[in-house]
Structure 1
């Protein structure tokens, strides 16, 4: 199978969020679509106290030629897909570089320590300003809000996959992603496809 050129090899994607948001599912959908398209893909996962809303991070490494180690070196992310603002900034601080592109869902998720008063959460404006300073380009996708309009915040994952495809860094498109979405969400195919396409549209509208 002939694969499309990619901007660099390996191409490194970090997906970050907190337990329960579904970033591991995103990595599996994206990874499967890339494998189906003929690329070598390695996925690495790290978990904090995910059952308590702790950090969860996925590394997806894409190559036309070989299998790379599953974890991205510090400072070497090409794309950061952030499902939660504080975690996005934390990953940018470690894996970012002057050329990194960030896609962010700006809805905060507060840990038990924050809701219980034992810790504080940074001001959202400050988080977003820092994220923009550390990124070459930032796409703000209100995935949770848009998904709730469709009936459930669970559809936010498909919105973010759509945004990830639409920035045109990964060698993916509708034809490679939509069959995998249909396999992954057999009971809610139509709404997830709609959310995916809407996520693409939000990027194209700028």
Structure 2
């Protein structure tokens, strides 16, 4: 693992499914014999505000649910500006970042009160503040599979494909299948493997 404990932050805007993804990963890690704590923090999540999950993974003990500032090993974001915001608080020169490239515009941007940064500006800032960035078209891939709702699954596949979490794909998919209605399984499984492929293409 990258650290003991391995500190992973999953962040996004409300409604993007990062809490679901965090608890799915947590369950898979537990089944693989690891000690895991998951802590969730919410902004105005029902209005597209920030939502963040802290996952702390250890081989032999449980840690407190919140990662100390500046000590994340991996930051996974479902929205690029949210990813950058969390990186500013929890990042360090060795952190690995992966983010969906599709913006979710907050209300003050929609109202014309603020400007949303250009994608290249965000990507450059992420690269300057981290050891490496996976810039993933997760929403586009999800839409190809039938709906943007599975973008979180694409991102989790990228996380797995990059070799950053100590759990085999069989357990990840076992837990995912148990949590889904049968008619949603194939699209989600495909989303996971498309994400794995994105990790190898970076």
Query: Same fold by TM-score, threshold 0.5 exceeded?
Result: yes
- Equivalent in 10, 17, 31 of residue 36 of structure 1: 31
1:65 aligns with 2:84: no
Equivalences, count: 201
Q: 1:205 — aligned with what?
A: 201
For residue 173 of structure 1, report the CA deviation from its aligned partner: 2.4
The answer to whether 1:177 aligns with 2:172 is yes
| Aligned counterpart, 2:189 | 193
Q: In structure 2, how many angstroms separate the alpha carbons of the residues matched to 1:152 and 1:47?
A: 24
* Cα distance between partner residues in 2 of 1:185 and 1:202: 23
Structure 2 counterparts to residues 22-33 of structure 1, below 5 A = 22-33=17-28
Q: Which runs of 5+ in 1 are unaligned?
A: 1-5
Moved over 2 A (4+): none
State TM-score, norm by structure 1.
Answer: 0.95
Aligned mates of 1:19, 1:205 — CA distance in 2: 29
How far does the alpha carbon of each residue in 1:160-206 deviate from its partner, in whole angstroms, 9 at most, with x for none?
11101111121022112000110121331111111101110111122
Q: 1:153-164, aligned counterparts within 5 Å?
A: 153-164=148-159
Residue in structure 1 matching 2:85, options 85, 90, 106? 90
- Aligned to 2:55, the other structure's residue is in SS state strand
Indicate the RMSD between aligned Cα atoms, in angstroms: 1.0
Gaps of 5+ in 2: none
19-28 or 187-196: which moved more? 187-196
Give the corresponding residue for 1:11.
Answer: 6
Question: What's the CA shift string for 1:10-56, capped at 9, x where partnerless?
Answer: 00000011100000011011000000101110011111111111000
1:113 correspondence with 2:108: yes
In the alignment, what sits opposite 1:130? 125
